[in-house]
Chains A and B, each alone.
Chain A
């Protein structure tokens, strides 16, 4: 699959964001190119989830601007091009009455739009998304009856059902065992390399991330590093960045901002 890696699909320009008067993000500028596999890392409370929310339009930056596919975020309408796998995805009510298939279908709603029911073609896309994450056999199971790793695959399928150009994932492997994590990263790699889907992965687990991603952004209120993961590891950034020592200790900062 040919992807023009020089094309900017998301631009973050001098973005600053504060909760009440506490500065969370300060003067952050970078771009995401088509086909990138970007890891966003940072210590506890560094603002990485806030940055994600700014890029998704869930919160508005007080300063600076965000451009999605060439359009200012305030005017952006083609939200179906953007998939989202939230951090809280695995903390829903276990009794929630929805089957795997019903959950994946939700990912198609944005594309179909208001006042329209899903068509046969939509159902084909939903079937393909289930196949892609190898969850077809679980289609009629209740989402709450699956393991954490399986649920995470379902949420990937939900994102895929919108046929997105880019998928944002917020701490997707929290609470998932090592082997399942490996399978999960293999799935993400395939989506990025074979399907050309741009990925943005927020995580605290620097060792896994730096092995998987093609671009790395380290956030600690400011953009501390942006570039290839290898240069980040080889450089003295981890030590230089006081807070980012935490990055080396996964599972310690799950309650980050």
Chain B
């Protein structure tokens, strides 16, 4: 069974996968509860533009992805707060705009190469040892910031107005939250790829929500689903020679459907009213 651990790329993939699996739902839960889950997809597309810039300029693509994603996160949050754009149009604007940048840059670099394809759908084979150090550093920093402002993020996600009245610096912390989302999305690229990242932030959280537990238990459940899906996904994809990102997301979806069915059975309500 553990013969796969003889392959160093699988070990690195599992290490990177667990790091991302642990940090993604911690950010994801606040995005989901604030009904801001779509920003994960937008920032992922911005990361693609960042990757394209990195490949063009011969800079480490994770670094450029991180930069592009973080800068866009702050600008999107500014547009949202100042209501300069209507509703979620800022998200659509950045999603399509950054994809356009990526496509043009890729064209200039004479089309798709395997490198870029692995950024789109994730490929643990591409994870290098120095990537792991970068990912651990970023994940630990993001985790530390989350721990410091945890109670404030919780209060804001429940009721932004009441949080504001109680003296919590809501605007500052909202910017911190989207920045955290930006960096976590950037480091998750090698595991599930740009097109599937939002699944890792969102699906474990909505699965855990079906169990209707306290905030802390919900977070622990989301972490469990996330880590199990990523480890099982990497192992299964290795043996069946499938895309690791795709298998991970399918496992996450399977957990979600089971959780939904369990809740339906317990509450005995029609599926339509579960959402």
Interface residues of A (CB under 8 A from B): 56-58, 77-80, 82, 84, 86, 88-89, 92-93, 95-99, 102-103, 105-107, 109-110, 112-115, 117-118, 140, 142, 144-145, 158, 162, 168
The segment from B46-54, B135-143, B182-190, B206-214 found at the interface with A is: B206-214
| A residues near B217, Cβ cutoff 8 Å | 97
Shortest 7 CB-CB contacts between residues of A and residues of B = A79-B167, A110-B166, A97-B218, A110-B167, A84-B165, A106-B155, A99-B214
B15 within 8 A of A: no
| B residues near A95, Cβ cutoff 8 Å | 209, 212
Q: How many chain-B residues does the 8 Å CB contact rule pick out?
A: 27
The segment from B56-64, B67-75, B113-121, B156-164 found at the interface with A is: B156-164
Known contacts: A96-B33, A97-B215. The answer to whether A89 contacts B159 by CB under 8 A is yes
B1 within 8 A of A: no
Q: Is the CB of A80 within 8 A of B164?
A: no
| B residues near A140, Cβ cutoff 8 Å | 214
Known contacts: A97-B214, A98-B214, A99-B214. The answer to whether A109 contacts B152 by CB under 8 A is yes
| B residues near A109, Cβ cutoff 8 Å | 151-152, 155, 163, 166, 168
Cross-interface CB contact of B158 among A57, A82, A96, cutoff 8 Å? A96
Q: Identify the closest chain B residue to A99 (Cβ).
A: B214
Tell me the bound Cα distance from A106 to B162 in angstroms. 9
Known contacts: A95-B209, A106-B155. The answer to whether A114 contacts B149 by CB under 8 A is yes
| A residues near B163, Cβ cutoff 8 Å | 106, 109
B154 within 8 A of A: yes
Q: Is the CB of A97 within 8 A of B208?
A: yes
Known contacts: A97-B209, A99-B214. The answer to whether A117 contacts B167 by CB under 8 A is no
Q: A58-B165, A98-B154, A114-B152 are in contact. List 13 more A-B contacts (CB 8 A).
A: A58-B161, A79-B165, A80-B167, A84-B166, A92-B159, A95-B212, A97-B214, A97-B215, A99-B215, A106-B151, A109-B166, A110-B166, A117-B151
A208 CB → nearest B CB, Å: 24
| B residues near A144, Cβ cutoff 8 Å | 212
**Interface residue SS majority, chain B:** helix
Tell me the bound Cα distance from A112 to B151 in angstroms. 10
Q: Is the CB of B148 within 8 A of A86?
A: no
Q: Identify the closest chain B residue to A77 (Cβ).
A: B167
Interface residues of B (CB under 8 A from A): 33, 148-149, 151-152, 154-155, 158-159, 161-169, 208-209, 212-218
18 pairs across A/B with beta carbons < 8 Å? A58-B164, A58-B165, A79-B167, A80-B166, A92-B158, A97-B33, A97-B215, A102-B154, A102-B216, A103-B158, A106-B163, A109-B152, A109-B163, A109-B166, A109-B168, A114-B149, A118-B151, A142-B213
B205 CB → nearest A CB, Å: 9
Known contacts: A106-B158, A109-B155, A117-B151. The answer to whether A142 contacts B167 by CB under 8 A is no
| B residues near A112, Cβ cutoff 8 Å | 151
| B residues near A92, Cβ cutoff 8 Å | 158-159
Known contacts: A106-B158, A142-B212. The answer to whether A93 contacts B33 by CB under 8 A is yes
Q: Identify the closest chain A residue to B263 (Cβ).
A: A95
Tell me the bound Cα distance from A106 to B165 in angstroms. 12
| A residues near B149, Cβ cutoff 8 Å | 114
Q: Is the CB of B213 within 8 A of A97?
A: yes
Tell me the bound Cα distance from A145 to B33 in angstroms. 17
Tell me the bound Cα distance from A97 to B32 in angstroms. 11
Known contacts: A92-B159, A96-B158, A114-B149. The answer to whether A79 contacts B215 by CB under 8 A is no
Q: Identify the closest chain A residue to B219 (Cβ).
A: A97
Q: Is the CB of A110 within 8 A of B161?
A: no
Known contacts: A106-B154, A115-B148, A140-B214. The answer to whether A162 contacts B161 by CB under 8 A is no
Tell me the bound Cα distance from A139 to B176 in angstroms. 31
Q: Identify the closest chain B residue to A145 (Cβ).
A: B212
Q: Identify the closest chain A residue to B167 (Cβ).
A: A79
Q: Which of A103, A106, A113, A168 has the most CB of B within 10 A?
A: A106
Tell me the bound Cα distance from A93 to B217 in angstroms. 18
| B residues near A57, Cβ cutoff 8 Å | 164-165
Q: Is the CB of B162 within 8 A of A82?
A: no
Cross-interface CB contact of B215 among A93, A102, A118, cutoff 8 Å? A102
Tell me the bound Cα distance from A97 to B213 in angstroms. 6
Tell me the bound Cα distance from A84 to B151 in angstroms. 18
B144 CB → nearest A CB, Å: 12
A112 CB → nearest B CB, Å: 8
Q: Is the CB of A56 within 8 A of B165?
A: yes
Tell me the bound Cα distance from A140 to B214 in angstroms. 8
